Structure 1
Amino acid sequence: MAAGPNEPKSRYLQYLEVVTGSLEEKRRYRQYKARVKRLPENYRTAVEALERYLMHFGPADGAGAMSMYEDLADLFEQSVADGTPIRDIFGADPVEFVEAFMANYPAGQYRARERNRFTSAIQRAAGEDTGQDGTDR
């Protein structure tokens, strides 16, 4: 039922993706979860805690989020292979670590648009010229 890389998708698959989201993103997410499941328990616990945080504050779009999660799995798999202690990964402040980690990924279209809208509104309220035509309301 799945179309190959060079085959056009059937109307059914196109409709299914409209309703459920990208099938490719779902496949990537399942692969990521399988990688996390293979980590030692303490590393897996740390990744799952990071994942919860990222679900709330990380990139909102599927592609950006999946790249971030795959990089997270890479980081922890390499840390396990190198024998890096969890505290050495995170440092003294886990929130500082995750915020720096997230800064490497796009915020997602919705969040970026809302951040820009918020910043523009504050600039207008402060009487600063935003250089925009005011259509961001």
Structure 2
Amino acid sequence: MTWIEKLTGSLEQKRRYKQDRRRMEALPAPYGAAAMAMHRYFMYYGGLTDGDTLLTMMGDLADLWERAAADGTPVRDIVGSDPVEFAETFAESYTGTRWIDKERARLIRAMDEAAGGEPS
């Protein structure tokens, strides 16, 4: 790892992320719009802090919509009647450390420190 990567993160991960994003942006309508809508949702919902897991998820998302476009599968046949449930189920299938995991651990530590020697 170079000194710049220590400051900014892995350049290879950034390259892969941009490549997958371009794949989604290049999809024909309505698949590109659906893929980018899910991508945006994942940036808020997913909360993954592990770059490799996030890259795997984004690559799989691009694969999903490329395959749907190639097959002509209707968007609703992919996401069903509840796109939020579909997106969250999709995201939850990827393991990794999420931002909320770090905050949960921080809260537990803070409560342990605040309680000091109090019985649980």
TM-score, normalised to structure 1, is 0.71
The residue type paired with residue 61 of structure 1 is D
2:62 to 73, 77, 81: 73
User: Is the radius of gyration larger for structure 1 or structure 2?
Assistant: 1
Aligned equivalents of 1:43 and 1:109: distance in 2?
27
Are residue 113 (structure 1) and residue 102 (structure 2) matched? yes
Q: By how many angstroms is 1:81 displaced?
A: 1.4
% same residue: 45
Aligned in 2, Cα 1:39/1:98: closer, same or farther, shift over 3 Å? same
Partners of 1:60 and 1:111 within 8 A in 2: no
CA distance in 2, matches of 1:21, 1:117: 23
Relative contact order (C-alpha < 8 Å, sep 6+): which is higher? Answer: 2
Matched, 1:89 2:78: yes
What number of residue pairs does the alignment pair up?
A: 112
Matches within 5 A, 1:23-102: 23-58=11-46, 59-102=48-91
Output one character per residue of 1:6-64: Cα deviation in whole Å (capped at 9) or x when no partner: xxx5xxxx111011110110110121022112210211111111111100111233211
Question: When the two structures are superposed, what TM-score results if normalisation uses the length of structure 2?
Answer: 0.80
Q: Extract unaligned runs of 5+ from structure 2.
A: 116-120
